[in-house]
Structure 1
Amino acid sequence: MPQTANPIGKHGLELPRLGLGTASLGNFLGTVTDEQAVETIELARTSGIRYFDTAPLYGHGLAERRLAQGLAGAPRDEVVISTKVGRLLRAGAPRDESQYFDGQPFYTDVPEQGPVWDFSYEGVRTSLAESLERLGTDRVDILNLHDPDNHFAEASTTAYAALHDLREEGVVRGIGAGMNSTGVLTDLVRECDLDVVLLAGRYTLLDQSSMADLLPACTDRSTMVIVGGVFNSGILIDPKPDARFDYVPADEARIERAQRIQEVCRSFDVPLAAAAIQFPLAHPAVASLLIGARSATELQDDFDLLDVPIPGALWRRLQTEGLLAEDVLVPAGR
């Protein structure tokens, strides 16, 4: 799967059009074995994927360690790796309720060390050093602030200062922020010199809310967007009554809307998931798409979905029926 790469920022970074996100490989919403995770990463690499995104939060270090195993033997200069800062993994960490739903954790069967918020200057540098040890490498290419929703003051000052200095020192080539909401992310783009943002779930076939603030700001500042969460936690694969949206059970209105989109797709013999995975790539600010597969089988399914021909008439039907706004940029029909 040969890929073109997009130049990002002014520090020699090029970002492939397709990447592998590793939250699921850190036991997100279900346990994955080491062997299953490594097999998925190895298939991604042998299939031509050269960009891999991870974070300390993902499996409390599991995803970073598994990524190191999956990339073992790969020439370091042939892959782009991004990880995140803002949380340190510490023994005795207090329970973070944002990582639970209905009393159950999003990440299962994880190491005892838990995440502790830290957007201080030293916290960022310490987080990177600990990630490099887990990843078994001397550098990452992109470093993102992770979920600074309630930490904007520190994220935009001390944490950003650390990212800026690391980029100036040549330790990383790109800096950014990753979130699944747009308000704080937009403010960070406007106030800080970010190369990229990683946006999860807010530019999808079901939710284009980022068009109101983040995407225009990124266009104005030449900040490129990495899109994740294209299936909105599975509702854009199968919008059944118990489907999830943003990691928790979806409400009836979202399920109904997803089902209407699915009906349009079916009328063109196109799987809903194919339209969902291809949709975000049409926006000029989107530099890369992250696939969040938890197995080699899921990853191959995603590759197949990317190859499904989708006629332009499908997108026009969605717009005619009010399921996509008229000004949404859609892929060229094929």
Structure 2
Amino acid sequence: MNPFERVRLGRTGVRVTRLGLGLAPLGGLFAPVGAGTARDTVEHAWKLGIRYFDVAPLYGNGLAERRAGPVLSRKPRGEFALSTKVGRLLRPGGADVQDIWAEPSGETPVFDFSGAGALTSYDESLDRLGLDRAEILHLHDPDRHFDQAVKEALPALVELRDRGRIDAVSAGMNQAPMLADLVRTGELDAVLLAGRFTLLDQSGADELLPLCADRDVSVIAAGVFNSGLLADPRPGARFDYAPAEPHLVDRALALRAVCRRHGVPLRAAAIQFPLTHPAVTCVLVGARTPAEVEDAAMMAAVDIPGALWADLRSEGLIR
């Protein structure tokens, strides 16, 4: 694929590149990154041609937004699309403490899916980024707060769209059924589906992807490496943020073996597989260094023969 091709997001006027940069690693996901390396990574993504960037208050508890902002705020604002998320406010002593962030920010998240909380979260994100707007705003992980998110936060996002302060309303989750329920509200322009339409997990295709295709709701596919197992399959690699179980490692190794028969790196197949479904508009790949961004762009551009997908299906490795 052409990773830098611009495509329209759902029914909106927002255009994103087929390959977007997920900024969670720049918040110190699992290991420190540092402000300088983080900014160099965003700068290199821009140099290569990536024009869609996704961030959230949760990522590094504010660090990812603060690190990406100084780079993006110097770029021509009409030339890229940005998404951030609502549902958590960053406060000293917040209760949503996660041990996956390696660098302290002095704040931790507090869940808040009220309408006022969503608006406050958006404004505070813009302050951290040093920007005046984001094109896309996601409800972030409303799993345990679904009713409040639908009744309060979602109308607040719709109001922001109606007022022209954002262009697209979306939701980002690690599960598909609740995203399908959100799509049925009729208010979403896109969904960000993490880890549920990958070479190892195609559960998003059960219901969500056909529903999105039918309603012209764009799917942004994230977590395409399932936290790393599909990037480097080996014992000890992570799957969905935890050490992968042996049967998943074996499956990833089997996927890699088929890819090697076709001369295709597993990373390339992992990045490009989500785009085999017509509902998927773009793929987000996280990177923590300029070299990782370079590799993602190279993998996204690898020519993958249709016979590879056919062999993976015939061997029962994908549907």
Alignment of 1:186-265 (within 5 A): 186-265=180-259
Q: Does 1:62 align with 2:79?
A: no
Instruction: Tell me, in whole angstroms, the C-alpha distance in 2 between the residues paired with 1:229 and 1:11.
Output: 24
Instruction: Tell me, in whole angstroms, the C-alpha distance in 2 between the residues paired with 1:71 and 1:204.
Output: 29
| 1:172 pairs with one of 166, 176, 201 | 166
Instruction: Tell me, in whole angstroms, the C-alpha distance in 1 between the residues paired with 2:314 and 2:178.
Output: 32
Report how far residue 125 of structure 1 moved.
0.4
Contact map agreement 1:156 1:192 (CA 8 A) in 2: no
1:263-289 residue CA offsets vs partner (Å, 9 max, x unmatched): 111222221111111111121111111
Given the superposition, is the C-alpha separation of residues 314 and 11 from structure 1 closer, same or farther in structure 2, using an over 3 Å criterion? Answer: closer
Query: Match of 1:260, SS?
Result: helix
Q: Pairwise CA RMSD of aligned residues? A: 1.4
1:188 maps to a residue whose letter is: L
Instruction: Tell me, in whole angstroms, the C-alpha distance in 2 between the residues paired with 1:303 and 1:53.
Output: 16
Q: How many residues align?
A: 318
| Number of the residue aligned with 1:142 | 136
1:48-91 residue CA offsets vs partner (Å, 9 max, x unmatched): 11111000000011000111122242111111110000000011
| Number of the residue aligned with 1:155 | 149
- 4+ residue runs over 4 A deviation: none
Given the superposition, is the C-alpha separation of residues 95 and 316 from structure 1 closer, same or farther in structure 2, using an over 3 Å criterion? Answer: closer
Identical amino acids, percent of aligned pairs = 52
Alignment of 1:32-181 (within 5 A): 32-96=33-97, 99=98, 105-181=99-175
Instruction: Tell me, in whole angstroms, the C-alpha distance in 2 between the residues paired with 1:172 and 1:307.
Output: 31
The TM-score with structure 1 as length reference comes to 0.92
Instruction: Tell me, in whole angstroms, the C-alpha distance in 2 between the residues paired with 1:230 and 1:136.
Output: 29
1:226-265 residue CA offsets vs partner (Å, 9 max, x unmatched): 0111111111122111111001011112111111111111
Report how far residue 9 of structure 1 moved.
4.2
Runs of 5+ unmatched residues, structure 2: none
Query: After the TM superposition, which of the residue ranges 10-19 and 43-52 deviates more from structure 2?
Result: 10-19
Query: Match of 1:318, SS?
Result: helix
Instruction: Tell me, in whole angstroms, the C-alpha distance in 1 between the residues paired with 2:158 and 2:209.
Output: 22
2:264 maps to a residue whose letter is: V
Instruction: Tell me, in whole angstroms, the C-alpha distance in 2 between the residues paired with 1:305 and 1:10.
Output: 29
Query: After the TM superposition, which of the residue ranges 120-129 and 248-257 deviates more from structure 2?
Result: 248-257
Given the superposition, is the C-alpha separation of residues 163 and 317 from structure 1 closer, same or farther in structure 2, using an over 3 Å criterion? Answer: same
1:134 maps to a residue whose letter is: R
| 2:263 pairs with one of 234, 253, 269 | 269
Runs of 5+ unmatched residues, structure 1: 100-104, 326-334
1:287 maps to a residue whose letter is: T
